[in-house]
């Protein structure tokens, strides 16, 4: 394999003579199967030689993260008169990442034992209640369980259980959200709402003293304080204009941005799109809604969006066993996560220097709703398009239709004299 990656005979000889030849070849074949390019394989092969020199791989046993970090420090501090080190922090990070992947492949990376949640059985029961009795979406359940896990890790331990908690303990955690972590009041209000729902359930099961749920207070958020904000439709056009190119990332990002802006989908709904959801014959798109109560919704496949997706599938999407529509363009080839979609939208929105409080995918959902409202669609039509369950969820967008409000205010009083 090395004769395919390198042309210099001395380089090939050095790679063949280094230790762990069989393991390194297996790892490079593994990287090839995950979609690594020739350039990436050459870099990986060189990294393996460096890692082998700086880590005690000859000794038996696992290697800890502390040992990897110490080796990375020695690597960036090495005497190196031939090259100028521009960014030692980046070099250190690349060394640690490559070493962790290599050791994981060898099954020699020491995994630090995770600290279990102090109230894991009760949290699991509450999650079952949220899923089967409340009918909440998986994303909502995951978010609430994450909030509760961090809460329990702060207030519960081997000597202090759920039955020992007082309202002072809960108030202290909520206050830290504001004063120490600097969370917005709307975020703290949502956090307190999750705690209130759990303790209401816990009181009914007799897990904690009565009255805790009713005593939980949160910062007041005034009506209309957190109105949805998003870019204007001309700004959305500017955003899409920035993806008009032949670069692989631009082609993929353009298709994703079009789906977000035109259909007003949530990030998780875009992430879950599969190749099977595209009905090319009938020009339809199947959307698996996150909420309410996960269901499916059929949209007409707009020609512009269909052309963008088709170009992505034919020219950019790498061959892989995944059925998800959106996958990474670089190795390892795998479906995009919610975080990856958020990052690509945020990066492109921030490049426009718009006065937005939030630059994630949800901003494009707000832009879609405001655009439909300014086009004259009814609240019912907009709510159906966005997949809202309650008309109140759509009514928020009427408050930010400044153009409509100006038209209402711009009338003559002459007829009333």
Q: Which of 122, 196, 289, 291 is catalytic?
A: 291
For residue 252, with 0-12 CB atoms within 10 Å meaning exposed, 13-18 middle and 19 or more buried, which class applies?
buried
128 catalytically annotated = no
388 catalytically annotated = yes
- How is residue 395 written in tokens? 């009514």
Q: Which of 101, 144, 196, 362 is catalytic?
A: 362
Enumerate helices (H) and strands (E) in the chain, giving the number of each: 20, 3
293 catalytically annotated = no
Separation of alpha carbons 277 and 14, rounded Å:
50
Radius of gyration of the chain (CA): 27
Q: Which of 252, 317, 365, 366 is catalytic?
A: 365
- How is residue 383 written in tokens? 């709510």
CA distances in angstroms from 353 to 177, 244, 366, listed in the order given:
29, 19, 18
299 catalytically annotated = no
Give me the helices (H) in 55-119, please. Answer: 65-76, 88-106
CA distances in angstroms from 32 to 1, 50, 111, 156, 337, listed in the order given:
11, 20, 26, 46, 22
Q: Which of 122, 252, 254, 266 is catalytic?
A: 266
200 catalytically annotated = no
Helix, strand or coil, per DSSP, at residue 322: coil
Q: Which of 101, 177, 317, 388 is catalytic?
A: 388
Q: Which of 191, 201, 312, 397 is catalytic?
A: 397
Instruction: Answer whether 80's CB lies under 8 Å from 63's CB.
Output: no
Helix %, strand %, coil % for the chain, to 5? Answer: 60, 5, 35
362 catalytically annotated = yes
Rounded (5°) CA angle 345-270-326: 80
Separation of alpha carbons 140 and 290, rounded Å:
9
Give the active site residues: 266, 291, 362, 365, 388, 397
């Amino acid at each position: 394999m090395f004769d395919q990656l390198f042309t210099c005979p001395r380089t090939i000889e050095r790679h063949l003579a280094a230790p762990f030849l069989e393991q390194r070849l297996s790892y490079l074949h593994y990287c090839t199967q995950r979609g690594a390019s020739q350039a990436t394989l050459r870099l990986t092969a060189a990294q393996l030689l460096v890692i082998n020199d700086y880590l005690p791989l000859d000794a038996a046993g696992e290697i800890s993260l502390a040992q990897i970090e110490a080796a990375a420090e020695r690597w960036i501090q090495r005497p190196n008169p031939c090259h100028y080190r521009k960014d030692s922090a980046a070099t250190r990070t690349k060394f640690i990442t490559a070493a962790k992947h290599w050791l994981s492949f060898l099954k020699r990376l020491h995994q630090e034992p995770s600290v279990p949640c102090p109230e894991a059985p009760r949290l699991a029961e509450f999650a079952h209640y949220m899923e089967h009795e409340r009918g909440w979406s998986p994303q909502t359940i995951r978010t609430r369980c994450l909030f509760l896990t961090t809460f329990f890790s702060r207030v519960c331990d081997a000597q202090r259980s759920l039955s020992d908690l007082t309202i002072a303990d809960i108030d202290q955690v909520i206050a830290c959200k504001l004063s120490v972590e600097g969370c917005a009041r709307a975020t703290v209000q949502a956090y307190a709402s999750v705690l209130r729902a759990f303790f209401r359930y816990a009181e009914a099961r007799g897990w904690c003293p009565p009255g805790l749920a009713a005593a939980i207070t949160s910062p007041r958020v005034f009506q209309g304080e957190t109105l949805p904000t998003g870019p204007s439709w001309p700004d959305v056009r500017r955003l899409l204009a920035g993806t008009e190119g032949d670069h692989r990332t631009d082609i993929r990002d353009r298709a994703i941005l079009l789906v977000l802006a035109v259909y007003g989908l949530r990030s998780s709904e875009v992430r879950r799109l599969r190749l099977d959801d595209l009905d090319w014959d009938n020009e339809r798109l199947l959307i698996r809604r996150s909420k309410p109560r996960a269901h499916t919704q059929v949209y007409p496949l707009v020609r512009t969006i269909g052309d963008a997706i088709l170009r992505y599938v034919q020219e950019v999407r790498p061959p892989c066993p995944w059925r998800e529509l959106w996958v990474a363009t670089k190795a390892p080839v795998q479906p995009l996560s919610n975080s990856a979609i958020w990052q690509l939208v945020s990066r492109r929105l921030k490049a426009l220097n718009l006065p937005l409080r939030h630059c994630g995918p949800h901003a494009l959902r707000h832009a879609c709703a405001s655009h439909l409202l300014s086009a004259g669609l009814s609240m019912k039509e907009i709510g159906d398009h966005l997949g809202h369950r309650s008309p109140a969820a759509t009514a928020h967008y009427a408050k930010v239709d400044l153009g409509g409000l100006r038209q209402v205010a711009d009338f003559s009083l002459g007829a009333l004299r």
